[in-house]
A and B are shown apart, each in its own frame.
Chain A
Amino acid sequence: MRRGGYVAGILLAALLLLTGCGSTFPADPQGTLDRARGGTLRVGASINGEWVRIAGPASGDVRSGDIPTSDVQGKDAELVRDFAAQLGAEVEWVAGTEQVLADELKHGGLDLVIGGLDDKTPWVTHAGLTRPYAESRDERGNIHKHVMLVPLGENAFLLELDQFLMAAKEQK
């Protein structure tokens, strides 16, 4: 036991040392947060009712690069725009189906996916989920806890987004 205490103590000391050294804790293995801050946030948007609406021709198609930010509307889109503003980042929108966007997220082509998704989303194999930041009730009376998708294991980025979402939820 005494030995266990030592090991744990050393471990904690090492942790505090590392966090004290200015590197973020938790850190992103792929550096998503660092890249987005003051840079570009690549966001996939999948059309879904009041959460994500995309104006313009053939709005259901997969498009990227040329979508004016004003074309993307809805509750989720507003949150993303505010989050990007907090990071000082430009949003680069990509429109598509959940399938295409989740796959892109998994392979590092996106930083964030929105589309009125809830915490029962099947895309947990491809992505990490934020904390639920809103609830809605569908016509069958089921409650949906809404989440966004982030790249797997990008924990600094996820924590930053979680903190933003919780703050935004409290302001309402």
Chain B
Amino acid sequence: MTNVRSSGTVRFGHTELPAEQRDALHKAIKLEWVTLVFLAVSTTMVFLVLGNSQAMKAAWIEDLLSFLPPVSFLVAARINRKPPSVDHPYGYHRATGVAHLVAAVALTAMGAYLLLESGLGLLAREHPTIGGLDLFGNTVWLGWLMMGVMLLTAAPPVFLGRAKMKLAGKLHDKVLYADADMNKADWMTAVAAVAGVAGIGLGLWWADYAAALIIAASILRDGVRNTRAAVSALMDKRAMTYNDAGPHPLHGQVDGYLRGLDWVADARSRIRDEGHVFHAECFVVPLSRTTPTFEQLQAAREACVAMDWKIHDVVIVPVAVLPSEFVPGNTSGGER
């Protein structure tokens, strides 16, 4: 198990987690382990009844790929804690982004491969062959077992996904979010695979490929979406909410606070998401003919840090005019 004490402080780099986030992290780590155990059982079960159904194969591969986000999360949650060092002065927060990218690229590649393979199978009109299986002295159609196993494994990920989704918001963790999002949609894969096998049973051989194509398309879609999100995060996109729904509200809060200071004429900042925590560079223009004191600068910095646990690395730069090349756009939220 990842080594987290349930009491005491937990840090992401030099950022100390508040109690709420610390509990969320512990819960998330526990849930990811539960997910891994579930996946180990379900991939084994599905493998045992895999047969010749393309839809089952696609569902199985999706199950295998589902190992990646939890593993990425657990690995990143460990590396993340390392304090900044001489060689890594910004800390190791990017581990999350790297893990996210690796998982996303794997999803994209497998999704594309499955889409191609299922499409070719459909074009070649290869009829999927599923025969009997000996079960307690009876020979039953393997298709029944396939459908049973898929239905059995359909529900648990949905509950896991819902629980993880809540934690993803609290921790501002995009890998956890991506994982929860995929889990929540997992039952559709199972239903598609059941429909594919049922189709074979009804003599509709193409139903299997249709189901496989649907599953492959959903894997590819997840992959492309996550790759895009992971790449733009690593490219220092401005801080977004954990689900990439919009710009993070903290940005506006920081700028608003700085602008409201009595010695400040104008302020703009750029904030990037390092993977749980934000790095902020705030440019402030002092009122004309005043020079901010060290105490004023220090107090402004500390107030920004106190706003949210996510903001820890703050640099305040007094400037004569806002450098438009560093803070493009018209407003702090970047609403152009």
Report A's interface with B, CB cutoff 8 A. 1, 4-5, 7-8, 11, 14-15, 18, 23, 25-29, 128-131, 150-156, 158-159, 161-163, 166-167, 170
How many Å from the CB of A111 to the closest CB on chain B? Answer: 14
Nearest chain-B residue to A30 (Cβ)? B127
- Is A152 a contact partner of B131 (Cβ separation < 8 A)? no
- Is A11 a contact partner of B198 (Cβ separation < 8 A)? yes
- Is B195 a contact partner of A11 (Cβ separation < 8 A)? yes
- A8-B154, A15-B198 known; A155 vs B130 contact (CB < 8 Å): yes
- Is A162 a contact partner of B129 (Cβ separation < 8 A)? no
- Of the candidate stretches B92-100, B133-141, B232-240, B256-264, the one touching chain A is B133-141
User: Which 9 pairs of residues, A with B, have the shortest CB-CB distance?
Assistant: A153-B127, A128-B129, A162-B132, A27-B203, A4-B187, A158-B131, A26-B201, A163-B139, A1-B158
A14, B151: Cα distance in complex, Å:
15
B residues near A15, Cβ cutoff 8 Å = 198, 201
Counting CB contacts under 8 A, is B178 at the interface?
no
A157, B129: Cα distance in complex, Å:
10
Contact with A152, one of B129, B143, B204 (Cβ below 8 angstroms)? B129
- Is B133 a contact partner of A131 (Cβ separation < 8 A)? yes
Counting CB contacts under 8 A, is B322 at the interface?
no
- Is B134 a contact partner of A131 (Cβ separation < 8 A)? yes
A172, B203: Cα distance in complex, Å:
33
- Is B158 a contact partner of A158 (Cβ separation < 8 A)? no
How many Å from the CB of A13 to the closest CB on chain B? Answer: 11
A25, B191: Cα distance in complex, Å:
19
A26, B158: Cα distance in complex, Å:
30
A163, B159: Cα distance in complex, Å:
39
- Is A152 a contact partner of B132 (Cβ separation < 8 A)? no
Counting CB contacts under 8 A, is B52 at the interface?
yes
- A15-B201, A131-B131 known; A152 vs B126 contact (CB < 8 Å): yes
Counting CB contacts under 8 A, is B194 at the interface?
yes
Contact with A25, one of B126, B139, B194, B202 (Cβ below 8 angstroms)? B202
A14, B239: Cα distance in complex, Å:
49
A4, B189: Cα distance in complex, Å:
10
- Is B154 a contact partner of A155 (Cβ separation < 8 A)? no
